[in-house]
Chain A
Amino acid sequence: MTHSAGPVLEFRDVRKNYGALDAVADVSLAIATGEFVALVGASGSGKSTLLKTVNRLVEPSAGTVLFEGLDVATSPLPALRRRVGYVFQSIGLFPHMSVSENIAIVPRLAGEPLSSDRVGELLELVELEAEMRSRMPDELSGGQRQRVGVARALAGEPHLLLMDEPFGALDPLTRNALGERVRRLHKRFDLTTIMVTHDMAEALLLADRVLVMDGGRIVADETPQALLEGAGGRIAQGMVAVPRAQAEKLARMSR
């Protein structure tokens, strides 16, 4: 934790309700520059909704979100979204654009076309061959597609990287490799990263800080180390118990 302190992102009493249902209930939270935060919870716990309030894919019903000190509600929308890299659960590559066109879309929208060298560099960062650039998305495997998704999120040189279940649809090997890769990119570019996942093991292995959500509230806010040592309360410990039991069973089997 050698990064400079001071929150890059702050939630103040953020609430989002759909009718009587509170998807996010009064969340207040500060995230410091350089943190890699995992937002963990079951389906319907509100973790994706909370993430989307940052770039206003979801508008909060009440409360404010501050990004680099400014209220996102008053930031011009396209400009805000270009400053925040976003990796989608559904990957969301544009099927009618080639890999390089997909990667270059954010700078293109900003009116600063991406150089061919820079596309090559980004492909290299996500461990894709340079000749992939002319492929269409439907010619790629799922893992390759999400690598392109990550490269696209990084192309605008964002300070903040949001990832919504980024590896959920990938096979375990790809999932592991891509997770490690993202973690290294996070460090290399001094990013602040928030990753939504329902997989506690993934959160423990990749993040510096794990937030557990349940029923729209944050019920635990701990380091992975502290969670493994029993902190965070009943719900968080229930989630930690599963990978721990699996790990112990595997350890016994290999003895």
Chain B
Amino acid sequence: MTGFWQTLTGLGDKLAAHILLASAAIALGIIVALPLAIWASRSQNVARAALGFASLVQTIPALALLALFFPILLSLRAVFGDGLPTLGFLPALLALSLYALLPILRNAVTAQTNLDPGVLEAADGVGMSFSQRLRLVEAPLSAPYIMAGIRTAAVWTIGAATLSTTIGQPSLGDPIFAGLQTQNWVLVLAGCVASAGLALVADALLGLIEKGFATRRRSFWAGGMVAVLLGVSAALLAQFGGRDDEDTIVIGAKGFSEQYILARLIGHRLEAAGYAVEYREGLGSAIAHNAVASGAIDVLVDYTGTIWTNQMARKDNPGRNAMYEAIVRWEEETAGTRVLGRLGFENAYGLAVESEWAQDRGVADISDLASCAPNMVIGGDPEFFERPEWIAVRDAYGLRFAATRNFSPTFMYNALRSGEADVIGAYTSDGRIAADNLTILDDPRGAFPSYDAIILLSPEAGQDPQLLATLEPLIGAIDVEEMRRANLSVDREENKLGFDEAARRLAARIGF
């Protein structure tokens, strides 16, 4: 339990970022929804169109809505220039504001249509102008209903904001995603408790304002507003108080343990060299790569096979070294991204089965698997079955499985053990392959490309000689055994390490 409280109280930064993101999104939602509601109250067509659009947005899963803003903002760079951020705060803000729109808009429109027509006629009859009627009669009478909408929006937004972790915006989703990855339930629980607690507090304060409006008690609504403002100001202070963001190096990590550990390993080295460091963790694979190219993050560990098949859309397999050389050139030419070098290990995709099962059935490689496949369930991470590598392997060996199932990388191994999947798309550097007594099936046709771990630097970071010098020693320094051991130390069920500690132990073992 002490671990839980320690983790919870260590979430101050994430909480502050979460509060700022959610309150900015709700504020933007209000700014858009209220004039729209006034317009809608004067025109049936506007009301229908606005409510229809807001309802449509609501049907898009929040996670997808957040992800969609990356390509949208990327294409908008044609208009606004390359300074437009495509990851982090801006896309999260826009997506969450759209999400907050519906409850505010719907309540505001309903409040307007439910106003007593006799009272509105009286407002005209005593000589109020349009704006006087709005300010003196319609606004105060609608306020409690609008506040109820804002309350709903606040609770939704605070919950959905946890998903903004996936597009590189720090939030209370960070511990949830990191914890889910490593089955560190303390971390997940701390993130959930903090997020839910924040939602409850916001709901109570906004409820106080609503009650103050409804019963016309100034002390209620003014008190609620002051408390909300104080909370947001405290978050602002915590976030920006006395910190210089100029020289901060942003290190990206995709959503699996190895990425978290390597990000910390790089981060610790940079900190020791005097850099300020920030992490953007839990990013999707494609988003992470584009983020380096666009400069939204400065450093990322990526994998040659991933870039080869996903970014370069290549289907051939020229061999490990030729592929690496081609990628270095391609990165340099297309985005000016710099490949610093290979870390020394591969984290390839491979099909893993339980070793005992493989021996019983005499299955040694993927071509042996093809005949058993129709009776088997294959599990993969959420990206796996969409990736060109999987399609290439499937077609090369003519694999037809009874079913495919998606699991988060962590649960994939549990699924194999519990029989919910018979074969999984595993990662070769994963510590659980040895620990769970799994076998990676050979790939005699070379359908999976090689996956050398490489350090990618954004165009700007690639020009910094001190940074290059600081990271240079990592090249060729990590072999697959060390990586597996480090991965297992955070993935195992007993006595698991935090990412920082795992990174420190890895650094010590490889001689830093």
Among B124, B126, B141, the residue within 8 A (CB) of A105 is B126
**Are B119 and A94 in contact (CB-based, < 8 A)?**
yes
Contacts of A90 in B (CB 8 A): 116-119, 121-122
- Known contacts A95-B141, A109-B132: A81-B118 contact under CB 8 Å: no
Looking at B121, B125, B132, the one whose CB has the most chain A CB atoms below 10 A away is: B125
Near B by CB (< 8 A), chain A positions 35-93 give 55, 57, 77-82, 86, 88-93
Decide: A81 near B127, CB < 8 A? Known: A94-B137, A95-B141, A96-B216. yes
A57 to B127, CA, bound (A): 10
A88 and B132 within 8 A (CB): no
Counting CB contacts under 8 A, is B140 at the interface? yes
Q: Say yes or no: A80 contacts B127, CB within 8 Å.
A: yes
* CB <8 Å contact, A55 and B118: no
Across the interface, do B126 and A106 meet the contact criterion of CB distance under 8 Å? Answer: yes
Q: Is the CB of A78 within 8 A of B127?
A: yes
Q: Is the CB of A96 within 8 A of B121?
A: no
Q: How far is the CA of A225 from the CA of B140 in the complex (A)?
A: 49
CA distance A79 to B129 in the complex (A): 10
Hey, which chain B residues are within 8 Å of A89, CB to CB? 118
A136 contacts across to B, CB distance below 8 A: 216
Is B122 touching A88 in the complex (CB atoms < 8 A)? yes
A57 — which chain B residues lie within 8 A by C-beta?
121, 124-125
B128 close to chain A: CB less than 8 A:
yes
Partner of A81, one of B116, B117, B124, B141: B124
Q: Could you say which interface size class chain A belongs to?
A: 20 to 34
Interface: A16 (CB within 8 A): no
CB within 8 A of A92: which of B118, B132, B141? B118
Q: How far is the CB of A53 from chain B (nearest CB, A)?
A: 13
Bound together, the chains give a CA A105 to CA B127 distance in angstroms of 9
Nearest-neighbour CB distance to chain B for A190, whole angstroms, equals 22
Distance (whole angstroms) from the CB of B463 to the closest CB of chain A: 63
A interface footprint on B106-122 (CB within 8 Å = 1, 0 otherwise): 00000000001111011
- Give the complex CA separation of A93 and B119 in angstroms: 6
Answer whether residue A15 sits at the interface, using C-beta atoms and an 8 A cutoff. Answer: no
Q: Are A78 and B128 in contact (CB-based, < 8 A)?
A: yes
Which residue of A is nearest B124, CB measured?
A: A57
Which listed residue, B119, B121, B128, B140, touches A109 by the CB 8 Å rule? B128
* A94 close to B123 (CB less than 8 A): yes
Which B residues are in CB contact (< 8 Å) with A105? 126, 136
B124: A residues at CB distance < 8 A: 57, 81
Question: What is the distance, in angstroms, from B121's C-beta to the closest C-beta of chain A?
Answer: 6
Q: Is the CB of A152 within 8 A of B126?
A: yes
Please count how many residues in chain B sit with their CB below 8 Å of the partner chain's CB atoms: 19
Asked if residues A88 and B121 are in contact (CB atoms below 8 Å), the reply is yes
B140:A96 contact, CB within 8 angstroms: yes
Contacts of A88 in B (CB 8 A): 118, 121-122, 125
Q: Which residues of A contact B118 (CB under 8 A)?
A: 88-92
- With a cutoff of 8 Å between Cβ atoms, the chain A residues found around residue B140 in the complex are 96
Hey, which chain A residues are within 8 Å of B129, CB to CB?
77-78
Chain B residues with Cβ below 8 Å from A110 are 127
Contact assessment for A81 and B122 in the assembled complex, using a CB-CB cutoff below 8 Å: no
A168 nearest CB across to chain B (Å): 12
**A109 B216 Cβ-Cβ under 8 A:** no
CB neighbours of A82 from chain B (8 A): 126-127
CB distance from B122 to the nearest CB of A (A): 3
Task: For the complex formed, measure the closest distance between the CB of A72 and the CB atoms of chain B, giving whole angstroms.
Answer: 13
**CB nearest to A56 among chain B residues:** B124
Of A80, A94, A110, chain B has the most CB atoms within 10 Å of the CB of A94
List residues of chain A with CB within 8 A of the CB of B121: 57, 88, 90, 92
Q: Which chain B residues border A91 with CB–CB below 8 Å?
A: 118, 122
* Interface positions of B from 435 to 488, Cβ below 8 Å from A: none
Q: Assess whether B128 is in contact with A92, with CB atoms less than 8 Å apart.
A: no
Contact B127 A92 (CB under 8 A): no
Q: How far is the CA of A97 from the CA of B223 in the complex (A)?
A: 21
Residues of chain B with a CB closer than 8 A to A152's CB: 126
Which chain B residues lie closer than 8 Å to A81 at the CB level?
Answer: 124-127
Q: How far is the CA of A93 from the CA of B120 in the complex (A)?
A: 10
A128 to chain B, nearest CB (A): 19
Complex-state Cα separation, A107 to B129, whole angstroms: 14
Most chain B Cβ neighbours within 10 Å, of A82, A91, A106, A109: A109
Contact A86 B125 (CB under 8 A): yes
B127 touches A106 (CB 8 A): yes
Choose from B125, B132, B137 the contact partner of A55 (Cβ within 8 Å).
Answer: B125
A240 to chain B minimum Cβ distance, whole angstroms, is 31
A92 adjacent to B125 (CB under 8 Å): yes
The CA of A110 and the CA of B216, in the complex, are separated in Å by: 25
Q: Point out the residues of chain A lying under 8 angstroms from B136, CB to CB.
A: 94, 105
Q: A241–B119 Cα gap in the complex (Å)?
A: 36
CB neighbours (8 Å) of A78 from chain B are 127-129, 132
Q: Which of A91, A92, A106 has the most CB of B within 10 A?
A: A92
Which positions in A face B, CB cutoff 8 Å? 55, 57, 77-82, 86, 88-96, 105-106, 109-110, 136, 152
> Assuming A88-B121, A96-B140, what are 20 further A-B pairs, CB within 8 angstroms?
A57-B121, A80-B127, A81-B126, A81-B127, A82-B127, A88-B118, A88-B125, A90-B118, A90-B119, A92-B121, A92-B125, A93-B119, A94-B136, A95-B116, A95-B119, A105-B126, A105-B136, A106-B127, A109-B127, A109-B128
3 A-B pairs with the lowest CB-CB distances in the bound complex, closest first? A92-B122, A90-B118, A81-B127
List 18 A-B pairs, Cβ < 8 Å: A57-B121, A77-B129, A78-B128, A78-B132, A81-B124, A82-B126, A82-B127, A88-B121, A88-B125, A90-B117, A90-B118, A90-B121, A92-B118, A93-B119, A94-B136, A94-B137, A96-B216, A152-B126
Give B contacts to A, CB under 8 Å: 116-119, 121-129, 132, 136-137, 140-141, 216
